[in-house]
Structure 1
Amino acid sequence: MQRHIRTRLVTAAAAVLVAAGTVTAGVSTAEPEHAKTTATRSAKPTKAQIAALFDGWNAALQTGDPDKVADRYAKDAVLLPTLSAEIRTDRAGIVDYFVGFLAKKPVGVKVRTVINVLDENSAIDTGLYEFHLTDPVTGAKSTAEARYTYEYEKRGGKWLIVNHHSSLLPTES
């Protein structure tokens, strides 16, 4: 009798495990504990996901709101801007730069990009881009060709720029 009850319990337990997807044809498919913690960590972002961060930054430029652009930078970010010799190391400085830059109605276009995903929380996007600008007084159109580096970190679940260097492309000699 006890053997019969034990057989029923084992059979019932096996049915529950199969229904839960942890046993298939007598082989356990349950993840070991160390695999669960690895699986729940953030995966490394793709290069396309990092490239899209520039698109979001460029879209923030299109709003004309320097605060929206500054929101894409970390509190301790460093900005070496394209059209200024002043290094910006705080939000106020970053906003100040974008007040003047946004007056030119910039539209950024990447020419060449090289993305290095360092880990699940950091990546670097570097390359060449150009800005199509409009003079706020005369309406004259111009293009600024520049090289850039964006260093991104994922902080509090949000990708932010921690270092942004942009400088005019040197003329060839």
Structure 2
Amino acid sequence: MEQNLAERLGPDRETWVTPLPLAIWFHRWDERDHPSVALFARRRMAYWLPNTTSTDHEDVIGDILSKRVHPEWDSEHRCWTISDQHFQQLSEALFKDYPALSLGREYNEHEKCNWQCQNAASPLCTCSCQARNHAGGKWMAGWSVLAEDTSVVSRRNWSWMLIEKATRLAA
């Protein structure tokens, strides 16, 4: 008798064939599922895609970024991770398939915003401005903020934004 794929992979591999649930620490907006990207202060970037199995998460990243980019499973946070150098490329690609994106940033409320943050070239920020002043705000060019929230998870401060591509009004 032939076993189905889920039986062959075993119970710990169930998410290979069923959609991966949103990790509890990711922010949820109005009970709706939006793709999520979370920028840790000192770890690889986490991401989650709605209605996507674990294997499909890997395939989507390969299609969007490169087959040479290999997501790693973070068992502590129950999510896939990739290098945060892919943040902007991944975010822009997700906007092609989804109307909005949930973006989280770990930040340090005691780290004062300064000229290094305000004049930065990259979109990575961990200071108390929660990226509002980062790179003069240029990192968010072309995006609109729909909603904002903060949370504390395992004694880490998170700033969350629900963002969409900015629409230009016809003149």
Same fold per superposition (TM over 0.5):
no
From the two aligned structures, give the one with the greater helix fraction.
Answer: 1
User: Given the two structures, how large is their TM-score scaled by the length of structure 2?
Assistant: 0.24
From the two aligned structures, give the one with the greater strand fraction.
Answer: 1
Structure with higher Rg: it is 1
User: Given the two structures, how large is their TM-score scaled by the length of structure 1?
Assistant: 0.24
